[in-house]
Structure 1
Amino acid sequence: MTTASAPLPAALVEALRQQFGTRYSQGESVRLQHGRDESKHEPMLPDGVVFAESTEEVAAVVRLCREYRVPVIPYGVGSSVEGHVLAVHGGISIDLSGMNRVLSIHAEDLDVTVQAGVTRKQLNDELKGTGLFFPIDPGADATLGGMAATRASGTNAVRYGTMRENVLSLTVVTPEGKIVRTGSRARKSSAGYDLTRLFVGSEGTLGIITELTVKLYPIPEAMSAAVCAFPSVDAAVDTVIQTIQLGVPVARVELLDALTLQAINRYSKTTLPEAPTLFFEFHGSDSGVQEQAELTQEIAQGNGGQDFQWATRQEDRSRLWQARHDAYFACLQLKPGARCFPTDVCVPISRLAECIHATNEDIAQVSLPIALFGHVGDGNFHLVVLVDTDNPKEMAEGEWISQRVVERAIAMEGTCTGEHGIGLGKQHYLLQEHGEDGVALMRTLKTALDPLNLMNPGKILPPQA
């Protein structure tokens, strides 16, 4: 466990205590909570934690920390898997979970403005009765601020896109402690640089997102979900590719390998066939959903798919997708006490079958339990590599499999991360994907906006020699 090496300036501590009282803490348990996430990385604790309740309070903390040259790290619920919230250089963690108000719902315009600490489930609960919903679903009940900061997506991305496409505007606290609005509620704009897109995916390294305006969508007239098992992963992936290329507007299509299904059955008490499996969901009118489902079933059967199990009732669909969302935690139980060495890549859909097939050949060469699942409708899949972080051999195998799948994805004109982000875990792949000039341009942006390197330092950009 890593802790800060230098104490905070006494004047800063006093100022924070005076302004925030009990909402400022240096307690060991509070710091530990804010210095770890779901990643394989050892905890790195901040020196103190502020529980902010408004944009103005966040700005005040940032100004104080800038005055004393102390880093700041934004924190939502800590569900990231690449070390985003770890305090690499100590500093102050700003907990935004108390900023959890839905500020305004504009049903007629299909958008909503929220504080950054609102979670996706909370938002959809508050939208009940409007006939609208927010579709971005990364699995974890993450905050919308964290989802924007990491450019999250999830199971619905194949139809509704990612956070990049669904954020209309942001309120951001800059490294100087200024409050900036990056856009408006208009659906398009040609006014100046696209500041919204600059901060979406910046992982707290350029500023702290405190409010968001995001798109909403009408709840479909009809929804239907299905599960189908296949004789091989290749057959399942071929089904996905053919379905997408035929233009079937599936809302979700998820691949889970046999090991993942085994883990899910144990964890969620389900009885699904323990074979490579696709989860589908279709949205639209009654006739449209039926047509989509029939065509997809025909494609699947042509690839050896069998035993289509349909779920049209809300409670059945919810149970099905809850089992899918539990896949990560279910897989952790395959090796009690292990940590996850996560890898997620994304490739063009035409290369997906080739990429997954080659990855499975690599998996067969290591001794670790490795589950494969993902949002294959948009070419994104994950490996859950279970390692004992105290075992050098297992860590080496984890590094090897991660490197193999990332380098393969980049060679196929894909990306080293489809949705997890860079954080600490994938910095060394940034040069491979973007090249020296691309990374140099990123450094120029970082230096221009944050010359003191106080905003979540040590993340995204690879260390310089």
Structure 2
Amino acid sequence: MAPRFTLAIEELQALLGDRLQTAAGVRQHHAQDESFHAPAEPDAVAFVRSTSEVSEVVRICRRHHMPVVPFGTGTAMEGGVNATQGGLSVDMSLMNKILSVSAQDMDCTVQAGVTRKQLNDHLRDQGIFFPIDPGADASLGGMAATRASGTNAVRYGTMREAVLGLTVVMADGRIVKTASRARKSAAGYDLTRLFVGSEGTLGVICEITLRLHPVPEAISAAVCAFDSLEGAVNSVIETIQMGVPMARIELLDSVAIDAVNRFSNTDYPALPHLFLEFHGTHAWVEEQAETVAALATENGGRNFQWTANTEERSALWQARHDLAYAARAMRDNAKIFSTDVCVPISRLAECILATADDIKTMPIPMPIVGHVGDGNFHVVPALDTSNAAEVAAVEAFHHRLIERALQMGGTCTGEHGIGQGKKDYLEAELPAGVEVMKQIKQALDPESLMNPGKVITL
């Protein structure tokens, strides 16, 4: 335990009792997320129950200059929960209450520790649902903090569109509500968007008001194999440019398909695939499916497998969501180095095909998978972090990939966030913007105690 935090930990212990933990196992659990970044343990972990309690915890930490690192479920991909400067990990898992649901207004307010699956289980019999699906059963506070999206983003948007308002504990312990429940407002600065995507560097998100959607009358899913990666990507571009309102449209190259087959016991042909889903009325879903099938066939698509069965659809999307674990299982004792670029849809084929050519020079298998309906794709190498040459080769590849995306008008991160690993690329992408971000950070967190070392470097 760092001596400089002894007094803070004593005060926190008095406030929280046995919900303030310093045991090695608890600190190790809160030292990392799903990324390859080196673990970094906090000095203590606080299991908080309410917004007022978070406020008191933050005030104690500020008095003793102790860093504060919010922790949701630990499923993020850029080391955002790693306590790189020690301090206090604030575990939000006990803040798991659904505070209100309005089916008439199609919104709800939840505590930050509620997970997306927990929310949808609660909404199941009300004819409404929350559509943002990053794969993992992430906490909604963490999803707001990282501006998460996932497979449904092409139709329903990301957390940026889903969050109507927040309750945030600031670096000085103040509790701030960022917006009302109104669907639109011109009331001053858009504080909600300021905190969505801030990755815990400006405050601790404690409550979230979310936009909900009606459950579609009909849902149909399909899997389609393609003769070539180019044909699969061109089908996506043509589908989007025709204005077909896809719910999900996911790309897996042949390496990804092989990994999925091995991990999930599926038997898809060893070819590039699109995984598709359509939402709407029965007639509208059928019309959409026919349009996309025709486009896919023209681009070398074949072996369509259709289903409207709930269990079969769930199995299909579970196989897709398990891709990161499937990629990691391709090699023993590997860690995932997940890339995360996003480009304008008109440059998607060019970017993916150039990336596929680049992968041919690499010493390890590197699946390509993506939420390609909005131009976002990932390369998912399973990395032996003890092999310095391999790490250097993957990092150099990552640099080339991001440079390629930026040159095409894209971004270094479509959904994972900046965390530890992409700070330099953020400066390359938005140099003047980063200077403004630094000014905001200094104004709201002058001691840089809120998740220090993430997003920007002061």
Give TM-score, length-normalised by structure 2: 0.99
| 8 Å CA contact 2:132, 2:159 repeated in 1 | yes
After TM superposition, list the pairs within 5 Å mapping 1:24-423 onto structure 2: 24-423=20-419
| 8 Å CA contact 2:145, 2:195 repeated in 1 | yes
| 8 Å CA contact 1:8, 1:91 repeated in 2 | no
Q: In the alignment, what sits opposite 2:433?
A: 438
Consecutive unaligned residues in structure 2, runs of 5 or more: none
| Distance (Å, rounded) in 2 between the aligned partners of 1:180 and 1:120 | 24
| 8 Å CA contact 1:374, 1:382 repeated in 2 | yes
| Distance (Å, rounded) in 1 between the aligned partners of 2:280 and 2:433 | 41
| Distance (Å, rounded) in 1 between the aligned partners of 2:10 and 2:213 | 47
| Distance (Å, rounded) in 2 between the aligned partners of 1:361 and 1:16 | 54
| Distance (Å, rounded) in 1 between the aligned partners of 2:294 and 2:377 | 24
**Residue type at the aligned position of 2:439:** T
| Distance (Å, rounded) in 2 between the aligned partners of 1:256 and 1:98 | 36
How far did 1:159 drift? 0.2
| Distance (Å, rounded) in 1 between the aligned partners of 2:286 and 2:23 | 56
Query: Secondary structure at 2:286's aligned position in 1?
Result: helix
**Residue type at the aligned position of 1:15:** E
| Distance (Å, rounded) in 2 between the aligned partners of 1:362 and 1:400 | 11
Query: Secondary structure at 1:370's aligned position in 2?
Result: coil
**Residue type at the aligned position of 1:202:** S
| Distance (Å, rounded) in 2 between the aligned partners of 1:208 and 1:236 | 41
Query: Secondary structure at 2:382's aligned position in 1?
Result: strand
Hey, which bits of structure 1, 4+ residues long, moved more than 4 A?
none
| Distance (Å, rounded) in 1 between the aligned partners of 2:294 and 2:281 | 20
| Distance (Å, rounded) in 2 between the aligned partners of 1:408 and 1:9 | 44
How far did 1:180 drift? 0.4
Give TM-score, length-normalised by structure 1: 0.98
Among all aligned residue pairs of Structure 1 and Structure 2, give the percentage whose two residues are the same amino acid. 58
Q: In the alignment, what sits opposite 1:448?
A: 443
| 8 Å CA contact 2:327, 2:381 repeated in 1 | no
**Residue type at the aligned position of 1:219:** V
How far did 1:195 drift? 0.2
Q: How many aligned positions are there?
A: 458
**Residue type at the aligned position of 2:356:** N
How far did 1:12 drift? 1.5
| 8 Å CA contact 1:36, 1:42 repeated in 2 | yes
Q: Deviations over 1:178-200 (max 9, x none)?
A: 10000011000000000000000
| 8 Å CA contact 2:342, 2:376 repeated in 1 | yes
How far did 1:11 drift? 2.2
**Residue type at the aligned position of 1:231:** D
| 8 Å CA contact 1:228, 1:305 repeated in 2 | yes
**Residue type at the aligned position of 1:299:** L
| Distance (Å, rounded) in 1 between the aligned partners of 2:7 and 2:392 | 45
How far did 1:386 drift? 1.6
How far did 1:9 drift? 3.1
| 8 Å CA contact 2:229, 2:253 repeated in 1 | yes
Query: Secondary structure at 1:352's aligned position in 2?
Result: helix
How far did 1:18 drift? 1.2
| Distance (Å, rounded) in 1 between the aligned partners of 2:121 and 2:270 | 33
| 8 Å CA contact 1:103, 1:114 repeated in 2 | yes
| Distance (Å, rounded) in 1 between the aligned partners of 2:234 and 2:181 | 40
How far did 1:8 drift? 4.2
**Residue type at the aligned position of 1:114:** V
| Distance (Å, rounded) in 2 between the aligned partners of 1:272 and 1:8 | 57
| 420-429 vs 8-17, greater mean Cα deviation | 8-17
**Residue type at the aligned position of 2:234:** D
How far did 1:7 drift? 2.7
Query: Secondary structure at 2:41's aligned position in 1?
Result: coil
User: CA RMSD of the aligned region, Å?
Assistant: 0.8
| 8 Å CA contact 2:34, 2:75 repeated in 1 | yes
| Distance (Å, rounded) in 1 between the aligned partners of 2:326 and 2:382 | 12
**Residue type at the aligned position of 1:17:** Q
| 8 Å CA contact 2:334, 2:382 repeated in 1 | yes
| Distance (Å, rounded) in 1 between the aligned partners of 2:255 and 2:18 | 46
Query: Secondary structure at 1:447's aligned position in 2?
Result: helix
